[in-house]
Amino acid sequence: MITLTEEMKAAFNTIKIFPVATASKEGVPNVVPIGVISLVDDSTIWIADNFMKKTLSNVLEDPKVPIYVWGPETKGSFQIKGDVELKTSGPEFGTIKGKSPAKGLLIVKITDVYDCRG
């Protein structure tokens, strides 16, 4: 099982904007800044689809994302990779919809964590 350390979880919760990457089925990359993102538990991240166009198109074609975690207060950086499931209804979507103008919810199941601190 992939686990985030307590230090990584604390760092995740201090970041305001996360670079999130996707790729089309042809492999064309796309990176966007995401602000409405939550670490739900040790294996799940929620990302609100507020204004996604290319990102949403890409995850529908290739449902994988890397999320880069870095900030001055994180003492380094790490990358989280995961498989994505899109929800546009249900209790999880209702929770995120209550906090943002979400059109959908990307549920990321963490598959890999890379510590880039050396």
Q: How confident is the model at residue 63 (pLDDT cuts 50, 70, 90)?
A: very high
Please state the pTM of the whole predicted model: 0.93
Q: Can you point out the beta strands (E) in 12-90?
A: 18-23, 29-34, 37-41, 44-49, 64-71, 76-87
Q: How confident is the model at residue 61 (pLDDT cuts 50, 70, 90)?
A: very high
Instruction: Enumerate helices (H) and strands (E) in the chain, giving the number of each.
Output: 3, 7
- The identity of residue 68, as a single letter, is Y
Q: Which of 57-61, 62-66, 93-97 has the lowest mean pLDDT?
A: 93-97
End-to-end distance of the chain based on CA atoms, in angstroms? 22
Asked if pLDDT for residue 118 goes beyond 70, the answer is no
Mean pLDDT of 20-28: 97
For residue range 84-96, list pLDDT tens digits in order: 999 999 999 888 8
* Cβ-based neighbour number of residue 108 at 10 Å: 26
Mean pLDDT of 23-39: 96
**Within 13 A of 103's CA, how many CA atoms are on the CB side?**
7
